[in-house]
Amino acid sequence: MIPKVVLITGAARRIGAATAHRLHAAGMNLVLHYRRSKAEAVELCAALNRQRAGSAVALRADLLHTANNRALVRDTADIWGGLDVLVNNASTFYATPVEDVIETQWDELIGSNLKAPFFLSQSAAPLLRRRNGCIVNIIDIHAKRPLKGYPVYSIAKTGLAAMTRALAKELGPEIRVNGVAPGAILWPESHLSEAEKEAIVARTVLKRTGCPDDIARTVLFLIRDADYITGQLLAVDGGRSLFS
């Protein structure tokens, strides 16, 4: 069987890296996109290629520029001869109190979380259509319930959720489009106190955090085992979204 070709954005670290490991273990060939995390991307790529020679490449692109999105998809096709799956994982996350938001923050947060996934999907669609491929968008449970202090990020992820449903209609029947909405999987790199972490965990049904592989396994399911699922957003949040 010919391996599926998967382009994962933001693949060098955290959920992106976990997804790369899981999809690679399932026999897929990968393009690992990164922007700033070159060392981590190169290390991950080398580790995957030690497991299966010639199965992964790392490519840099600043996805805030639409021309780079097109180039990334084109380079993927040049390397592998096609594309089966696009995983829109790359994201920027930081607080933006309403009274302090400036236009460059708006452009960066909307650009990385919504604009780039849209134009990557647009560029990838002709390749995906040839192989009855799919798109998986990594969203956030805060697309449904905005996170206080993070209005621009929440707006962007809400747009990505809407985009998932819209593209499922626009690109079907050949291309399936779904989303995964993580909850408390990894703590943000900005500081949270232990009390804040405990409060978040307390508002989950399962009373614990998840791990990046919980997201990775859900992505694998949507790629490999969900042929009759499209336009859906799967919350992987330990029941956090059941609370108001």
How far apart CA 74 and CA 70 sit, in angstroms, is: 6
Domains of the chain: 5-242 (3.40.50.720)
Residue whose entry in the numeric block shows the structure tokens 């499922």: 168
Please report which confidence band the pLDDT of residue 244 belongs to, taking 50, 70 and 90 as the band edges: low
Q: Which residues are identified as catalytic?
A: 153
Please report which confidence band the pLDDT of residue 243 belongs to, taking 50, 70 and 90 as the band edges: confident
What are the tens digits of pLDDT across the range 169-191? 999 999 999 999 999 998 877 66
Q: What is the pTM of this model?
A: 0.96
Please report which confidence band the pLDDT of residue 162 belongs to, taking 50, 70 and 90 as the band edges: very high
> Cis (ω within 30 of 0) for the bond into 173?
yes
How far apart CA 147 and CA 178 sit, in angstroms, is: 22
Longest CA pairwise span in the chain (Å): 55
Please report, for the chain, how many H helices and E strands are present, in that order.
Answer: 8, 7
